[in-house]
Every structure is written in C-alpha cells, then in structure tokens.
Structure 1
C-alpha cells in the first residue's frame, strides 16, 4: 500500500474494462477512496467481487449515455457521504463492443449513421454530460480534477493495414470521438481555471488484452518501444495525473504510447 493518492476520492466511469479495473485496483493500492461505475453485467459483477469488503470502494451502476442517470450520479455519491475530487471520464464503446462477438465489421461505406452516432453519444456526449454535472455539483466547491481518457488514435490516423485479416477493424467513430475528448479538455481547462479545477487528457496507446501474436507484431512495428503496453503501465501515468503532484498541469494531452505518436 502506498499513499500517492491519500486524501483523494476518485470517481471512475467505465470501471469494468481492462484499463478501468486496473485504475480501480491501483488507486485503491495508493490510498484513494474509489467510486466505480459501469453498466450492469459480468464486468461490473467481477469488479465488485474483486473489491468486496474494501471500505474504500463503492460501486454504482451507470450508463453515461443516459442523461437523467448522469444528472443524479454525484448527488447519489455525495448522499452516501463521499465527495469525489477526481473524476475519470473513462467510459467508452469500441467497435468490438458495438458490433458484438461474431459479427463482421462493416467497411466505412457501410457504416450506419446509427452506429456512428451511438459511438459518439457514449464516448463524447457521455463525457460531456459527466463534466457538465461535475460543473454543477463539484467544481468551485473544493479543488477538483477531471481526467478525460482519449486514445493514440485521437490525433493520429489509424494504420489500416494492421487490421487486414483480423476479426476487428479500427472504427471511424472511435477515433473521431476521442479527438473530440481532447477538444472538451482544452475548452474546460480554460473555463474552470479560476475555479480551482484542472482538466487533462491521457491518451493510452495499444494495450495488450489477449491479442494474437501476429497483431502484436504488426502494432509493435509502429511503436518505438516495439511492443504493446501492459495495463499497469497506463495506470502508472494515470496515478500521477490524479495526484496532487499534477496540480500545475491543465489543458494537456499526455501520450502513453511507447513512442507511437512521436514517429
């Protein structure tokens, strides 16, 4: 146990995924009180089981795409005696999640407006709604931090050939939504500057999550360090951004991508 985040109460959306669950574990290890949220389902159940009995952990079901639910979330949390001073906008839908297992990815020309807009609504509008509610309920009451989670594809084009023959593709709406995430960051950083709140973006690179050796090889050739990241390597930087040591950082994008974006 460390104390890098002692005194911090962190609210994390999309906590059940490979990165979200890693953030929860590492932040608890560093002394934070963690309020996790996700959609109901096996990921949420596994997360709750992993931290059952930990007095510094709470879980709330939340769909960030539902406006009424987002408008109530901070009131529910604070009504239970917790006051988040760090918020992670981590919830996102990927192409794999949108299409579902066993379904083929459409070519760009066959992408439906419904699928495109559903991705934007969850990844970008959802982040906006969480930030807006943070503005209403938290910002200005006490020092606070918002960390928006983007992607290596936020400001860099996808290398489409690495997906040839793979069971998944890079989905256009994902990169578009993640570019918008950093737009939200820089807008809010200035808007909240005089209210003792900071806003930054973290952009994870390719994170290993059971990928095939061939896909790892293809991606590794695009990365200076020659490999995909482990979830804890992304969490290492997230811990810093959530800590008091990042107090003079705002409006910044931090790439944690092994050098992908520097080439």
Structure 2
C-alpha cells in the first residue's frame, strides 16, 4: 500500500514557519515531492538544512508580494524538473511579524495604511498572484489542486480581551486578508471547475508556538476542546486536502480549530 501522497508534487509558499515546516516534513514522509519557498533568512536556511539531502525536496527563495518573482516561479521550478499538481497558498504576515521583535504593537487607531497594505499584499494579493500564475502555467494542462490557508479569524471576530497585557494583539489586516482568502477560493472553485482543478480553504485554529500559559488558558476557554492545536494536528487535515481522496471537494472551508467556530 502506497503512501497518502504518492504521485503528488506539492508547491508551498511560506514554508519556513511553524505550520509550513510541519507540512513540508509530513508531506515528504507521505511520499510527496515538495517544492518549498520562503523569504531569504534563517527559516529558509533551517528548511534546507533539514531536507536539502532529500531528492524529493526542492527549495526556492520567493517573496509572494513580488509580482515579477511570482510571474516566473512555476516556469522556473518546471524547468528544474518539478511538476507541481498541488499548490498551498500558505505565506502570510502576522501582526507580530510585521512589527518585529520588541516593537510596540499599535492600537487600531494608530495602524498605518502602509502596515495594513503590506499585510494585504502578502496575505491576499500574494495568494491571488500565485493563483493567477497557476491559471497561466498549470490549470487545464493537467489536474491540479489549490489549497488556500485562512484562519479561525477569517469568518469569526477576534476576541480582543484575550490579548490584554500580551506583547502582541490581533491585527485588523490579518483577519481581513484571511476572510478574503476564502472569497478567492469560492470564486476560483467555480472558475476552474471544468478545467480539472479543485480549490479549497483550510482554516487553522490557535496553534501552539511557545505561547505563555496565561495566553493558552485564555484561548482555551474559547475552544470546545479547551486547548490550542499542535502543528501536526493541522497537518493531518492538510494531508487529506492535498491527497487524491479529496478529489470531490471544491469550494469548501475546512475548520481545524477544536470547535472554536462552532461555539
């Protein structure tokens, strides 16, 4: 019996974060070829160090907000012998990343248009540009799947009190961009339906990434399972969406949030 992702070549943006790196590891373990991308830096270096010796792993530096770079990315990876048939729009800027370590987090009234638009450029416009390039280079040539990564805050309002006294807050542009991600999904699902392509959204809930016990407690009170997710629990569902078993799913949002969105 083969692995779950045998025959899949999976292209992932934003591969170096806590979820992206988990997807890479799990997909390689399930028999996929993985083409990982991220910005230059320590996260990219760590991915290459971990998987660079695996012949089923390829890495490319990519800023999804750079239109010229996105326009050439699929032709570049195809010229190197990869043929992506699953694409994950995973790259995103969070508020913490935008402000930088140690920088004060602005209140909504002090949010700059530049910071808002930078977030939208990566989280939503970048996802659009990747999808547009799929349309040009992949869709209709062979069966393919696009998985857009949203968030528990895509269709649910943030619970602002849980951030009181924390070094970070929920950033308005993040939720707005993630709501737009699912709008892109349902539009593309219909547009590509007769061209052998599926499009779905996965919406991860709160994922543990070194958070304080107090923050875990506050978030847990909002979740039916009373805890944050482990990265591998999100990856379990991502593996299904990337597999042939999800072939009759399109235009769907799959919440992996411990019951947050159902309460």
TM bin (shorter chain): over 0.9
Corresponding position of 2:53: 53
Q: Distance in 2 between matches of 1:244 and 1:153?
A: 28
- Cα deviation digits, residues 193-249 of structure 1 (max 9, x gap): 000000000000000000000000000000000000000000000000000000000
- Superposed displacement of residue 141, structure 1: 0.5
Matches within 5 A, 1:21-170: 21-170=21-170
1:179 aligns with 2:179: yes
CA-atom RMSD in angstroms:
0.8
- Cα deviation digits, residues 99-133 of structure 1 (max 9, x gap): 00001111001100000010001100000000000
Q: Distance in 2 between matches of 1:50 and 1:16?
A: 11
4+ aligned runs moved over 4 Å, structure 1: none
Corresponding position of 2:188: 188
Q: Distance in 1 between matches of 2:29 and 2:215?
A: 32
Q: Distance in 1 between matches of 2:2 and 2:100?
A: 39
Corresponding position of 2:201: 201
Contact 1:15 1:91 in 2 (8 A): yes
Q: Distance in 2 between matches of 1:155 and 1:165?
A: 25
- Superposed displacement of residue 2, structure 1: 6.2
Q: Distance in 2 between matches of 1:105 and 1:170?
A: 10
Contact 1:33 1:56 in 2 (8 A): yes
Q: Distance in 1 between matches of 2:47 and 2:18?
A: 11
- Superposed displacement of residue 52, structure 1: 2.1
Matches within 5 A, 1:238-257: 238-257=238-257
- Cα deviation digits, residues 162-217 of structure 1 (max 9, x gap): 00000000000000000000000000000000000000000000000000000000
- Cα deviation digits, residues 13-41 of structure 1 (max 9, x gap): 00000000000000000000000000000
Q: Distance in 2 between matches of 1:35 and 1:191?
A: 25
Contact 2:144 2:198 in 1 (8 A): yes
Corresponding position of 1:220: 220
- Superposed displacement of residue 160, structure 1: 0.2
Q: Distance in 1 between matches of 2:2 and 2:179?
A: 34
Q: Distance in 1 between matches of 2:97 and 2:216?
A: 20
- Superposed displacement of residue 146, structure 1: 0.0
Contact 2:51 2:57 in 1 (8 A): yes
Q: Distance in 2 between matches of 1:79 and 1:51?
A: 21
Contact 2:52 2:58 in 1 (8 A): no
